[in-house]
Structures are given as C-alpha cells and as structure tokens.
Amino acid sequence: MKILVCISHVPDTTSKINFSNNDTKFDTNGVQFVINPNDEFGLTRAMWFKEKQGASVTVVNVGGAETEPTLRKALAIGADEAIRVNTVATDGFSVAKQLANVVNNGGYDLVIAGRESIDYNGGMVPGMVAGLLNANFVNNCIGLEIDGTSAKVVREIDGGKETVSTALPLVIGGQKGLVEESDLRIPNMRGIMMARKKPLNVVDPVDANQETTSVSFEKPTPKGAVTLVSPDNLDELVSLLHNEAKVI
C-alpha cells in the first residue's frame, strides 16, 4: 500500500502573530513553523501502517524552500521520502490541484490530509483533492483501519461518531483522535541522521487558478484587564461583582 501524507507548514501555536502591508499579509518574521497538528496525527497513523502492514509513506508539501525543514522533520519521524511542489500555497483550490497531480503521478492508494490547517482554517483541501481524483472521501476522521483494498473509517459527527466502510483509493481528512496524543512521535537522533539521506524531491507545479484571495486580516479583540482582589477582602469582591461585572 502506498500512502501519501499531506503536510502543511504552519506557525507554532505559541508564536506571536502579526500582519503587514495594512493587515493584508502575514508577517513571518520571528515565527517558528511546525507540522500542522492535524497532519501530524495523520502521519503517525501512516507510520503504524508502515510498521504493521509494510506500507510505504511519502509526505508532500506545497510551498517554497522554507518549508523543507518541516518535511525533514516528517522524514525524521519515519516517512520514506518527501515531495515539495515548488510553488507558494495561495489558496485551497490551487493547493488541491497540485496535490491531486502528485497523487496521479505516484499512484497512491491512501491520501491522508489534516481536516484543516491551523493557520487559515480553510478546511477545504482534502475534499477538493478527492473531488479532483474522483476518489472516496471521509472527513473528520478519528479512526482508520485498512484490510486489503477495503477501509473501515470512524468519523466524528454532531453528538457522536459514525463508522463507515469504503474502498481504496481513499482520501481522509484526519484530526485529533486518529491516534492518541501520547502516540505522537518526537524525532530521535537516529531518525534525524537518517532523514538527511532520504530523498526530498522538488517538483514543478501544474497550472492552477487562484480561486480565492485574502483581502485583510484582523486580530481578535484584546482581553480586558484583570482586577486582582485579596482573598481577605470579600466585601470588595462582592462590590465589584455587583457594581462592575453586574453578575450578582
């Protein structure tokens, strides 16, 4: 079984986010980038299939050379090879078209993508990849078993979960729950050294229209100031709750 894991290069959740050019561009200065968490769950599940069923695992990213350290980390975790499509990820459709072309050229049986990336939260790429490939698609995936060319998939739905059966080729949008957080892997020194010798292939993009454009960004409203009250001054606490917060 050939597995392709789609990897997004996203800011670490602890990074301080700023915008430039009148809030129309994301400012990458001083930002640490990581594997998109939803993709990391998918990569960990792919490693299970590699170790238990002998699957081959390829990771792919659409982006410039600055994304290669993220791909190298995926290789250090255990992926066999990496592909970087040499173009800027502008919108969901153009990214999906690049990924679909990689799948067509590689003949992959299973494509694992994150449900969404944590930077733009578009949530559209996995479904569009499946549509372009005319492949089966399951989103919000929290469980996946493969037996030959058949798959049993558990997905999260409102108020519960649903188990479905389908066939390969398959595209899934994975998320937290696909594996346990305790199963996520930290690259060790041996993995890091081996990753340097694994192939990272840079391929040219195909023509793809940019269907959406980010017009502007806006930060959330800052949280209000916090008033600290001594635990010995209950009268002041009651007064503030009554007169200012107006909750009693």
State which of 20-29, 54-63, 225-234 shows the largest mean pLDDT.
54-63
| Average pLDDT score over the chain | 93
* pLDDT tens, residue by residue, 113-150: 999 998 888 899 999 999 999 999 999 999 999 999 99
**pLDDT band at residue 225, thresholds of 50, 70 and 90?**
confident
Q: Is residue 232 part of a domain?
A: no
pLDDT given at position 140? 96
Peptide bond just before 231 cis, omega within 30 deg: no
Is 28 part of a structural domain of the chain? yes
The DSSP code for 224 is: P
User: Three-state SS for 217?
Assistant: coil
At 214 the pLDDT is: 84
Structurally, how many domains does the chain consist of?
Answer: 1
Categorize the per-residue pLDDT at 17 as very low, low, confident or very high, splitting at 50, 70 and 90.
Answer: confident
Check pLDDT > 90 for residue 223. Answer: no
In a domain, residue 211? The reply is yes
Rounded Cα distance between 246 and 70, Å, is 49
Query: Per the domain annotation, does 168 fall within a domain?
Result: yes
* Residue 97 included in any domain: yes
Q: Cα–Cα distance between 51 and 67 in angstroms, integer?
A: 26
In a domain, 248, yes or no: no
Q: How many whole angstroms separate alpha carbon 52 and alpha carbon 56? A: 11
pLDDT in tens, 48-107: 999 999 999 999 999 999 999 999 999 999 999 999 999 999 899 999 999 999 999 999
pLDDT at residue 152 is higher than 90 = yes
224 located within any domain:
no
Residue 236 covered by a domain: no
Q: Does residue 173 surpass a pLDDT of 90?
A: yes
Judged against a pLDDT cut of 90, whether residue 168 lies above it is answered with yes
Q: Which amino acid is at 175?
A: Q
Q: Residue 197 contacts by C-beta under 8 Å, 6 or more apart in sequence? A: none
Tokens representing residue 80 in the block: 């066999």
112, 148, 197 from 168: Cα distances, Å:
12, 9, 31
| CATH value at residue 117 | 3.40.50.620
Instruction: Kindly state the average pLDDT of the residues 2-10.
Output: 97
- Average pLDDT for residues 16-40, to the nearest whole number? 91
Domain interval for residue 49:
2-217
